[in-house]
């Protein structure tokens, strides 16, 4: 076997070192929300020009796979996906960490990521040319239905609260339409503001929607951020036993991840969501998902790391990159004079196979590296006092949102969306359906319009939508996912009628009070108005550009109307004595500081505002009133953290930092 021979080429000390350094760097970058693999890979490409091609590729591939894995840390520990691929990791990872199982969650994420990464890389090694055909079999129709399938997850994520989930999805879909449309070319819903031209950035939106509410809750009470764990540590052996007993889940999720990775433009976030959805559907007790079920973490993390190997398949075989990091790595190959395409595996087999082995080695290295970094990250989050944790996480959200495009507007949008998300969440509109809508919106829209154009031109519109074999498969899967929770709900109710109700342990989503809720009605009325605005705003657009906005505007109004009716039919609630929320003042102060931070930053400068805001948040988050000496130490730490990140961004990632009047 020639292929095995290349394994030795990949195992030179230099290549091993590149893989190790790449994985470490990637994991850290992935763990910081907003700093992405794309960014790191783009900066490092020139260094590979002078390197041996395989070595350079191994370094880039190791960073990429490490970053996809690293995204899990932030998802588990602070409820913020470090990369969009880790969106579904937050669903169960954070509840696990909350109740003291954060170490276990990290172990499981590590093991699942390694397993998924291996499956993806093996598929790349052995089956790349035939699997590349999967990418070609997926036409616009299949992308459309895949997005619809992803949206059905809302039904599962918002059981008992479906109407609000659907409204959230419509809001997310609306946000995905902002900016210049790919199909039709219309400039939509930008309110003539330049900042909205490129649309709502997914990464800054998920940082805002998921992380800002966490910080707001963090300062609102003196309780620790995560429950202290009974044993400390990562509980690796327990994790390994659990992961092994779920080998079916691991394998299924890895295969889903590999296949979705092959589809250009779908990516790790959709792979994670789909395999999460499948894991939930096949579970014995699906109602525990979203409340800290370890299988949710396993499914997502196995799938998203499998997309790395999967994504290289169309990149190397067809020259069609699956994800932005793939695209940059493809560019690096082209500069090296290596012709991408079907013949690559024979003409430049030495480079390609050495690279794939290197990717496999890097994936295996994630196990020790991840467990080591995970141990420190978990220990840090548990031990660090709130007074330092809150401002550090706040700083990271702002850095992350800014770093994506070196643009303060993204950070402003992030904070704004975050505050809105917290308010909405308080009234039962959860952030996940909004994120789902935002992730899937453009894929759904493009798929729909393209299918419509092709179907209409060839006069077989219904066939295009409903009679393509792969589409039918996806539609069936979507229907099952959609109807399954309803059926499970019905079954659970029957069971409950027969036996005594069982207390639900560790519930994070409060069961909805089935009485009339005036704020909900108020929000619904506002959303009906928004729906009307979306509809009328679409009237000036081209035919292609207006189909989707009109549909979404109408759907938003209908669902909101349903919500109003639902609430009017319920009995009026007993007037509750007004409770004063002790944390409210701190929350409001924090929200104000973060808003001031992002709006003053371009005027005064990044460092000055960060120092000031860091100090302010320390005061807001403090409950212990420590002695002056400790304040000094904390202050100094804050100074170091702010300057350190500034240095990293300005000098390593070469971002243009807002300088303003001062610095």
Partner 1 sequence: MRTILTTAFAALVAASGALAEGFPDKAMTYIIPFNAGGESDVSARYQQSEWEAVTGQQVVIQYQPGAGGAQAWSQLNSLPGDGYTVMGINMPHTVLQPLAGSVGYKTEDLTPVHYFHYTPNAIFVTKDSEYQTLADLLDYAKANPGMVTFAGSGSNSANNLAAVQLNAAADVITTYVPFSGTGPSITAILGGQTTAGFNYATSGVAQGDALRMLAVAAEERMPAFPDVPTFKELGFDIVGGAYRGVAVPASASEETRQAVSDIVSKINAQPGFVEKMESGGFVLTDIGYDKMDAFVAERVEEYTAGAKALGIIK
> Which residues in this chain contact partner 1 in the complex, by CB under 8 A?
38, 42-43, 45-46, 49, 135-140, 179-187, 190, 192, 194, 197-199, 264-265, 314, 318-321, 324-328, 330-332, 334-335, 337, 340-343, 405-406, 442, 446, 450, 453-454, 456-459, 542, 544, 654, 656
Whichever of 309 and 322 has its CB closer to partner 1, that residue is 322
Angle between helices 294-318 and 349-383 (to 10 degrees): 150
Write down the least CB distance from residue 456 to partner 1, Å: 8
Write down the least CB distance from residue 458 to partner 1, Å: 6
Q: How many CA atoms lie within 13 A of 467 on its CB side?
A: 6
In whole angstroms, what is the distance from residue 54 CA to residue 38 CA? 19
Whichever of 45 and 619 has its CB closer to partner 1, that residue is 45
Task: Taking the CA atoms of 637, 640, 646 and 649 in sequence, report the sign of the dihedral they define.
Answer: negative
In whole angstroms, what is the distance from residue 41 CA to residue 327 CA? 10
Write down the least CB distance from residue 611 to partner 1, Å: 25
Long-range contacts of 469-474 (CB under 8 A, 24+ apart): 470/137, 470/138, 470/142, 471/141, 471/142, 471/145, 474/142, 474/145, 474/146, 474/148, 474/149
In whole angstroms, what is the distance from residue 575 CA to residue 85 CA? 44
Asked if 234 and 103 count as a contact pair (C-beta separation under 8 A), the reply is: yes
Whichever of 140 and 213 has its CB closer to partner 1, that residue is 140
Write down the least CB distance from residue 531 to partner 1, Å: 23
Whichever of 182 and 472 has its CB closer to partner 1, that residue is 182
Whichever of 388 and 601 has its CB closer to partner 1, that residue is 601
Listed in sequence order, the residues at least 6 apart from 22 whose beta carbon sits closer than 8 Å to its beta carbon are 58, 59, 60, 61, 62, 63, 66, 362
Q: How many CA atoms lie within 13 A of 574 on its CB side?
A: 2
Whichever of 49 and 247 has its CB closer to partner 1, that residue is 49
Q: What would the two tokens of residue 352 be? A: 């390609």
Write down the least CB distance from residue 329 to partner 1, Å: 9
Q: How many CA atoms lie within 13 A of 655 on its CB side?
A: 25
Whichever of 343 and 536 has its CB closer to partner 1, that residue is 343
CA distances from 188 to 409, 436, 449, 452, 551 (A): 18, 20, 16, 20, 15
Whichever of 135 and 211 has its CB closer to partner 1, that residue is 135
Among 96, 95, 93, 76, which residue's Cα sits nearest to residue 33? 76
Listed in sequence order, the residues at least 6 apart from 216 whose beta carbon sits closer than 8 Å to its beta carbon are 418, 419, 422, 587, 590, 591
Whichever of 197 and 486 has its CB closer to partner 1, that residue is 197
Whichever of 301 and 326 has its CB closer to partner 1, that residue is 326
Asked if 85 and 272 count as a contact pair (C-beta separation under 8 A), the reply is: yes
Chain centroid offset of residue 453 CA: 31
Whichever of 165 and 264 has its CB closer to partner 1, that residue is 264
Q: What would the two tokens of residue 302 be? A: 């196995």
Write down the least CB distance from residue 137 to partner 1, Å: 6
Listed in sequence order, the residues at least 6 apart from 472 whose beta carbon sits closer than 8 Å to its beta carbon are 466
Q: How many CB atoms lie within 10 A of CB 94?
A: 25
Whichever of 381 and 474 has its CB closer to partner 1, that residue is 474
Write down the least CB distance from residue 175 to partner 1, Å: 15
Write down the least CB distance from residue 612 to partner 1, Å: 25
Write down the least CB distance from residue 180 to partner 1, Å: 4
Whichever of 186 and 348 has its CB closer to partner 1, that residue is 186
Write down the least CB distance from residue 308 to partner 1, Å: 16
Write down the least CB distance from residue 147 to partner 1, Å: 13
Q: How many CB atoms lie within 10 A of CB 274?
A: 27
Whichever of 340 and 564 has its CB closer to partner 1, that residue is 340
Write down the least CB distance from residue 330 to partner 1, Å: 6
Query: Which residues lie across from 187 on neighbouring strands?
Result: 180
In whole angstroms, what is the distance from residue 663 CA to residue 611 CA? 11
Asked if 562 and 375 count as a contact pair (C-beta separation under 8 A), the reply is: no
Whichever of 333 and 524 has its CB closer to partner 1, that residue is 333
Write down the least CB distance from residue 359 to partner 1, Å: 19
Q: What would the two tokens of residue 463 be? A: 């066939």
Chain centroid offset of residue 229 CA: 26
Whichever of 154 and 443 has its CB closer to partner 1, that residue is 443
Query: Which residues lie across from 179 on neighbouring strands?
Result: 188
Torsion over CA of 213, 217, 218 and 224, rounded to 10 degrees? -130
The number of helices, as runs of H, and strands, as runs of E, in the chain is 27, 2
In whole angstroms, what is the distance from residue 29 CA to residue 16 CA? 20
Among 52, 470, 454, which residue's Cα sits nearest to residue 462? 454
Write down the least CB distance from residue 83 to partner 1, Å: 16
Write down the least CB distance from residue 186 to partner 1, Å: 7
Write down the least CB distance from residue 630 to partner 1, Å: 41
Residue ranges in 50-191 assigned as alpha helix (H): 53-78, 87-98, 102-137, 140-157, 162-177
């Amino acid at each position: 076997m020639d292929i095995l021979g290349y394994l030795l080429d990949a195992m030179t000390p230099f290549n091993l070192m590149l893989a190790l350094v790449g994985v470490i760097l990637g994991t850290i970058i992935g763990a910081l929300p907003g700093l992405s693999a794309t960014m790191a890979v783009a900066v490092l490409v020139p260094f590979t020009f002078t390197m041996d091609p395989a070595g350079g590729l191994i370094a880039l591939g190791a960073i990429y796979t490490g970053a996809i894995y690293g995204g899990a840390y932030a998802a588990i520990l602070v409820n913020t996906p470090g990369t969009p691929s880790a969106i579904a990791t937050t669903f169960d990872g954070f509840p696990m960490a909350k109740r003291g199982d954060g170490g276990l969650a990290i172990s499981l994420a590590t093991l699942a990521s390694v397993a998924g990464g291996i499956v993806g890389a093996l598929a790349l090694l052995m089956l790349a040319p035939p699997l590349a055909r999967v990418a070609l079999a997926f036409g616009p129709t299949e992308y459309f239905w895949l997005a619809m399938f992803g949206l059905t997850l809302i039904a599962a994520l918002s059981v008992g609260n479906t109407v609000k989930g659907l409204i959230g999805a419509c809001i997310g879909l609306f946000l995905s339409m902002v900016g210049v449309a790919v199909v039709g070319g219309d400039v939509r819903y930008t309110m003539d503001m330049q900042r909205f031209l490129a649309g709502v950035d997914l990464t800054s939106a998920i940082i805002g929607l998921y992380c800002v509410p966490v910080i707001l809750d963090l300062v609102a009470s003196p309780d620790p951020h995560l429950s202290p764990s009974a044993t400390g540590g990562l509980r690796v052996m327990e994790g390994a036993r659990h992961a092994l007993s779920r080998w079916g889940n691991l394998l299924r999720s890895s295969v889903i991840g590999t296949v979705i990775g092959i589809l250009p433009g779908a990516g790790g976030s959709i792979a994670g969501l789909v395999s999460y959805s499948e894991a939930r559907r096949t579970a014995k007790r699906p109602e525990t998902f979203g409340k800290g079920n370890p299988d949710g973490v396993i499914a997502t993390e196995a799938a998203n790391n499998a997309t790395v190997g999967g994504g290289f398949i169309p990149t190397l075989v067809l020259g069609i990159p699956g994800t932005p990091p793939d695209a940059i790595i493809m560019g690096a190959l082209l500069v090296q004079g290596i012709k991408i395409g079907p013949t690559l595996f024979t003409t430049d087999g030495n480079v390609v196979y050495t690279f794939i082995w290197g990717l496999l080695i890097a994936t295996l290295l994630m196990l020790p590296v991840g467990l080591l970094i995970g141990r420190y990250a978990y220990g840090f989050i548990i031990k660090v006092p709130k007074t330092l944790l809150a401002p550090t996480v706040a700083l990271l959200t702002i850095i992350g949102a800014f770093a994506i495009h070196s643009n303060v507007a993204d950070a402003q949008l992030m904070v704004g969306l975050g505050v809105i998300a917290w308010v909405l969440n308080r009234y039962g509109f959860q952030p996940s359906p909004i994120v789902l809508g935002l992730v899937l919106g453009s894929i759904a829209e493009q798929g729909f319009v393209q299918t419509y154009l092709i179907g209409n031109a060839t006069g077989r519109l219904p066939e295009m939508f409903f009679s393509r074999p792969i589409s039918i498969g996806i539609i069936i899967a979507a229907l099952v996912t959609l109807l399954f929770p309803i059926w499970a709900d019905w079954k659970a109710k029957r069971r409950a009628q027969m036996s005594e109700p069982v207390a639900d342990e560790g519930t994070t989503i409060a069961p909805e009070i089935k009485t009339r809720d005036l704020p909900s009605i108020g929000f619904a009325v506002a959303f009906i108005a928004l729906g009307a605005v979306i509809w009328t705003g679409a009237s000036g657009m081209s035919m292609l550009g207006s189909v989707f906005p009109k549909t979404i505007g109408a759907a938003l109004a209908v669902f909101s109307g349903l919500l109003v009716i639902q609430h009017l039919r319920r009995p009026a609630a007993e007037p509750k004595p007004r409770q004063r929320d002790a944390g409210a003042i701190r929350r409001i102060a924090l929200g104000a500081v973060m808003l001031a931070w992002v709006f003053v930053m371009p005027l005064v400068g990044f460092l000055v505002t960060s120092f000031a805001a860091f100090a302010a948040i320390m005061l807001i988050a403090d409950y212990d009133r420590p002695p002056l000496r400790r304040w000094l130490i904390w202050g100094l730490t804050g100074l170091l953290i702010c300057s350190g990140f500034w240095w990293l961004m300005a000098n390593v990632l070469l971002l243009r930092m807002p300088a303003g009047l001062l610095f």
